[in-house]
Homo-oligomer: A and B are copies of this chain.
Amino acid sequence: MLELSILGFLCDESLHGYELRKRVAALTGHVKPIADGTLYPAIKKMEASGLLTRELQSGPAAAPRHMLTLTAKGREHLKNRLSNPDDAFITDENRWFVLLAFLRHLKNADAQAAVLNRRLAFLTQPASFFYDRDRPLRAADFDDPFRKGLMTIATATSRTELKWLRETLAELTA
């Protein structure tokens, strides 16, 4: 998840760690704030595996910045991740949103459509949060206003996304 964000942001332009941290925080930080102790080791690991390079810049800033640049291998890796995302990136809304944020880096419209189709398949498969034996329960089955709300919200949000998915898929395949 974090790795994908880093790859995605660096694909647009070289950034130093601190700026990267701010962008990642804007994208996913409201859900779960990103910690220093998570970001910097991730960068190191990616540098070690040749996905990015680091260049020391003694600019006007307080501390020397490490300018981070994606390598060709890093770009390749990003495209792979975007084309063949793990299931968790399709099913977990947080991860899915990160994927969406960078899907434009996949220049190929067919590849983009394939990813949207996976999400479409996931959202259209019937599923509930609660079952009585094998019968899926619906919002109307609950007296409880909270479970009712949970179901209502989930249904409404998936409807909104389905509409967008179908429209966008139509444009992509046109």
Contact = CB atoms under 8 A, between A and B. Distances in A.
Interface of A: 23, 26-27, 30-32, 88, 91-94, 97, 100-101, 103-104, 112, 122, 127-131, 144-147, 149-150, 152-154, 156-157, 160-161, 164, 168, 171-172
B100 A150 contact: yes
B153 A160 contact: yes
A131 B22 CA distance: 10
A119 to B, nearest CB: 11
Contact of A101 (B27, B88, B150, B168): B150
Given A94-B93, A130-B26, A164-B152, A104 B157 contact: no
A152 B100 CA distance: 12
A130 B27 contact: yes
Given A130-B26, A154-B97, A161-B153, A147 B31 contact: no
A134 to B, nearest CB: 10
Contacts of A161: 153, 157
